[in-house]
C-alpha cells in the first residue's frame, strides 16, 4: 500500500473567495414562529456567517490540525486520508459519519494513551476521494485493507452514524482480525419486528422522529445532485444545512454553541467548503439506501460494545439493549448520562472511558 505524508494547505485564493461569498450572501426572509422551528434560525446564521467572514482564523485551525500526523494512502485504488497516532498500543480505527469529518474524533487523541489510533475520512469527505458508487460495506473492506497495509494484524474498530455502519460490516464480512467493535449509536438495524414493550416504544419514537426529521435523508437518498448545487455554491447555505443537524442531533438543549465551540463548528464547515465535498458526502445516502445496507438480517460474531448516547434535541428514543442484541453480540451496553449523536466531540471523556473499558479491561 502506497502511503504518503499529507499536510493541509488551503490556498489564499480559496479563502478569499469564501470570505467574499459570505459577505455577499443573499438572505431569505425570516421564517415565522419560534427560532429553529422551520430550520436554521436566520439571525443565528447571519451572525455566524459575519464571524466566519471576518473573525474566524482558518490558518490557526489549519495549524492545529497539522499538529497531527496526516497521511494519504492508495487503498485498492481509492485515495484515503487519515490521521495516524502511533504509540505502540492497541490498534483502533474510528470512523465518523454525516455531516461530520475526521475532526470529530480528534478530541480522543489525548484521552486514549493506550491506543494506536487510525482516524480516516470517509470516502468523499474532506481529503478522501470517492468512487462513483460506494456503500458502507465497500468502505468496510477498504478499512480492513488500510489497517493491514499499516501493518496491523489484530485491531479494534469503532464509529458513529455511517461510521457505525462501516464498523458493523467490518465485523460481518471479515471478523477474524477484529478485537471487538464499539458503537456510539446504531446505523445498521435488525430486519425484525419489535417484540418487547421497550422495543415497541422505541419504534414509536423512531416513527415520530422520521415524520419531522427525515426530510433531509429522503432528498439525499433520491436526488442528492440537485441539493449539491446550492450547497456547493453558497457557504451560508452549506453552514445552514450542516449545523441544523449538529444542533438537532446533539445534547445541546437547543443552544448549539453551548455544546460545541464556534471555531470547531466553522472548522468542520470550512473543511467541506474548501474540499468541495458536500456533494460527494451526500451520495452515501443514495448508494446505501439503494443497496439496502442499513438493514441486516445476519447476526454478527464479533464482541460488541455500545455506548448508548441517545440524548438530543430531536429525540429519536432510547435504544433498548434487546433490540441491538438482535444482530449484535453485545458484551457491554452503557446508557450514557449525557451526549448525543456526535459523542466524540460532545463528550470525549465519557466516550474515551467506554473505549478503554471495552478494549482494555482491567
pLDDT of 96-116, one tens digit each?
Answer: 999 999 999 999 999 999 999
* CATH code for position 274: 3.40.50.1820
Backbone CA torsion sign across 251, 257, 258, 259: positive
On the question of pLDDT at 362 being above 90, the answer is no
Query: How many domains does the chain contain in total?
Result: 1
Q: What pLDDT shows up at residue 281?
A: 98
List 182's β-bridge partners, or say none.
Answer: 158, 305
Alpha-carbon distance 217 to 199, whole Å? 23
The DSSP string of 115-157 is EEEEEEPPTTSTT----SS--HHHHHHHHHHHHHHTT-SSEEE
Instruction: Find the domain containing 87 and state its range.
Output: 2-359
pLDDT of 299-356, one tens digit each?
Answer: 999 999 999 999 999 999 999 999 999 999 999 999 999 999 999 999 999 999 999 9
Alpha carbon distances (Å) from 226 to 129, 223, 258, 282, 301: 20, 6, 33, 11, 40
**Which residue in the block uniquely carries the three cell numbers 497539522?**
66
Assessment of whether the complete model's pTM goes beyond 0.95: yes
CB 206 within 8 A of CB 316: yes
Amino acid at each position: 500500500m502506497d502511503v504518503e505524508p499529507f499536510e493541509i494547505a488551503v490556498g489564499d485564493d480559496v479563502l478569499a473567495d469564501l470570505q467574499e461569498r459570505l459577505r455577499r450572501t443573499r438572505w431569505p426572509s425570516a421564517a415565522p414562529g419560534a427560532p429553529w422551528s422551520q430550520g436554521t434560525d436566520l439571525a443565528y446564521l447571519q451572525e455566524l456567517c459575519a464571524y466566519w467572514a471576518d473573525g474566524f482564523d482558518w490558518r490557526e485551525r489549519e495549524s492545529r490540525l497539522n499538529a497531527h500526523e496526516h497521511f494519504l494512502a492508495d487503498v485498492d485504488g481509492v485515495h484515503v486520508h487519515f490521521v495516524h497516532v502511533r504509540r505502540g498500543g492497541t490498534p483502533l480505527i474510528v470512523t465518523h459519519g454525516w455531516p461530520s469529518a475526521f475532526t470529530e474524533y480528534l478530541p480522543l487523541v489525548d484521552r486514549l494513551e493506550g491506543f494506536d489510533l487510525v482516524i480516516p475520512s470517509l470516502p468523499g469527505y474532506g481529503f478522501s476521494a470517492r468512487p462513483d458508487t460506494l456503500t458502507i460495506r465497500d468502505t468496510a473492506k477498504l478499512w480492513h485493507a488500510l489497517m493491514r497495509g499499516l501493518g496491523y494484524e489484530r485491531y479494534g474498530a469503532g464509529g458513529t452514524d455511517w461510521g457505525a455502519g462501516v464498523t458493523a460490516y467490518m465485523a460481518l464480512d471479515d471478523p477474524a482480525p477484529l478485537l471487538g467493535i464499539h458503537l456510539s449509536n446504531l446505523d445498521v438495524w435488525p430486519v425484525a419486528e419489535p417484540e418487547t414493550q421497550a422495543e415497541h416504544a422505541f419504534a414509536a419514537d423512531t416513527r415520530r422522529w422520521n415524520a419531522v426529521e427525515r426530510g433531509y435523508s429522503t432528498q439525499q437518498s433520491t436526488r442528492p445532485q440537485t441539493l449539491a448545487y446550492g450547497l456547493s455554491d453558497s457557504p451560508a447555505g452549506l453552514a445552514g444545512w450542516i449545523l441544523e443537524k449538529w444542533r438537532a442531533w446533539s445534547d445541546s438543549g437547543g443552544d448549539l454553541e453551548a455544546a460545541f465551540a464556534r471555531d470547531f463548528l466553522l472548522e468542520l464547515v470550512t473543511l467541506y467548503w474548501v474540499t468541495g465535498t458536500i456533494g460527494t458526502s451526500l451520495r452515501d445516502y443514495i448508494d446505501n439506501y439503494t443497496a439496502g445496507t442499513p438493514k441486516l438480517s445476519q447476526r454478527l460474531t464479533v464482541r460488541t460494545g455500545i455506548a448508548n448516547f441517545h440524548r438530543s434535541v430531536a429525540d429519536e428514543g432510547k435504544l433498548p439493549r434487546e433490540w441491538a442484541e438482535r444482530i449484535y453480540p453485545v458484551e457491554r451496553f452503557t446508557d450514557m448520562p449525557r451526549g448525543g449523536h456526535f459523542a466524540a466531540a460532545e463528550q470525549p471523556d465519557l466516550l474515551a472511558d467506554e473505549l478503554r473499558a471495552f478494549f482494555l479491561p482491567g
